[in-house]
Amino acid sequence: MTRTILGLTLALAITSTALAHNGRTGYIPAWPDPSTFVLDGEEDDWGWLDTDSFGIKPEEIESSLGEHAEQGPNPNPEDFSASAFMAWSPPPDNAFYFFGRAQDDTLRALEAKSDWWNDDTLQLQYDFDHSAGNYLSEFENGYRHQLHPLGSKTEGAAAPPFSEEEGPLNWGGWPPYTYVNTTILPAGAVHNQTDVEYTFEVRTSPFASYSKLGPNESVPWVFEPESIIHFNFRWDDGDRDANGEQDLWNIVGDSYLCDREGADCPDFILVPTPMVDPYPEWQPTGDEPGPATAVENSTWGRIKSHISN
C-alpha cells in the first residue's frame, strides 16, 4: 500500500509541474501526529521532518527585490540568512504549520502593527484553494499574515494585508484561527540591536476566502492529501530607518508579487505521511527502515530529477 501511495504522489508530482503558475512546484508533508506540535518558537518538535527533502535551507533563499536582488542564493549571510519548514494536517486538526529562523545583522523594530511590513518581518502568503487571482484588497482569492519578531508574541499576526483599520479585519491573525510564538537572541533585543537571531512558529486554520466581517462570512478550506495550494513565505529585511525595506527574501525563483496575486505564488503539493495516524489505512508493513517521511528518498530523487528537466 505504501508503494502505491508513493507511486500516486510521484505521478501527481509529474503532472503538477505544468500547473505551477510561477514555474515552481514544492512539496509539504503532513504532520504525523498533530498532538506533538508545540507552539514555543523552537524547532525540536519538527524532528520528524526530513529536512533534506522538505526543509528550505539558506542556500535555497534569495532576494527577489532589493539590494541583493539577482545576486543568487544566500549572497550575504552576514547581512541576512534564513531557513524554513512547512507542514499540514487533515481534519480534525486541519491546520497549516510553519517554522522559520532568520539571522540578521541589524534588527529594525520601529513600527506599529499597521505598518509592520516596514520592519524586519515575515509574511506568509496563502491561496489554499489554488484559485489564483488578485487578493490585495478583496481577499476572496487569498490572504496573508504579517509576523513581527517582537510584536507577534503578544499581538499575533497582522492579517490580512496592511491596513490602518483595526478590529475585525485582523481576526484571522488571532486565536483560535492563528497561533504564533517567537523567540529572539539576544534576549531583550530592541530596535537597532546587532547580530540577532529570531524565529517564528505558526499554526493557522486554512480559509478559501477571507472576509473582513469575520469567520462567519469567510469560507474554510479542508486539507486533503495530494491537493495543491499556492503558498509563499517572504522575509522583509528592513535595515533602513526612513524606509525599512532593504531586501525581500523568498525561495529561489519565487516572486515578491505573490503578496497580491495567487498566480505569482509557487504550487505546493500536500503529500501524506503514510506510516502513522491520521492515515490508518496507510500503516507500515513492518519492513520499512527507520522513521517514515511522506516521500522516500529514492522517490524524492526521481521527483527532483523530473522537475529539473
Question: Are residues 90 and 294 in contact, defined by beta-carbon separation less than 8 angstroms?
Answer: no
More confident residue, 16 or 183: 183
Positions of E strands within 93-227: 95-106, 121-127, 143-147, 178-185, 194-204, 207-209, 219-220
Q: Confidence band (pLDDT; 50, 70, 90) for 115?
A: confident
pTM, rounded to two decimals:
0.82
DSSP tag of 32: S
Residue 55: all three cell numbers together: 526543509
Cell numbers describing residue 271 = 503529500
Q: Alpha-carbon distance 44 to 158, whole Å?
A: 26
Residue 163: partners with Cβ closer than 8 Å, 6 or more residues away? 114, 169
Q: How confident is the model at residue 280 (pLDDT cuts 50, 70, 90)?
A: very low
- The predicted pLDDT at position 178 comes to 96
The pLDDT score that the predictor gives to residue 238 is: 87
E strand or H helix at 29: strand 25-29
Residue 133 gets the label, from left (phi > 0), alpha (psi -120 to 50) or beta, of left
Q: What is the mean pLDDT of residues 239-260?
A: 83
Residue from 26, 47, 27 nearest 291 by CA = 47
Task: Express each pLDDT in 153-171 by its tens digit.
Answer: 999 999 876 555 555 678 8
Judge whether 22 and 255 are in contact, CB under 8 Å. Answer: yes
Q: Give the pLDDT band of residue 205 (cuts 50, 70, 90).
A: very high
How high does pLDDT run on average in the chain? 81
* DSSP-assigned letter for residue 300: H
Task: HSE, CB side, 13 Å, CA atoms: give it for residue 124.
Answer: 29
Q: According to the model, what pLDDT value does residue 180 have?
A: 97
Burial class (CB in 10 A: 0-12, 13-18, 19+), 141: buried
Calpha distance 177→57 (Å, rounded): 28
14 or 134, which is more confident? 134
Burial of 307 (0-12, 13-18, 19+ CB in 10 A): middle
What CATH topology corresponds to 2-308?
Immunoglobulin-like (2.60.40)
Q: Would you say residue 110 has pLDDT above 80?
A: yes
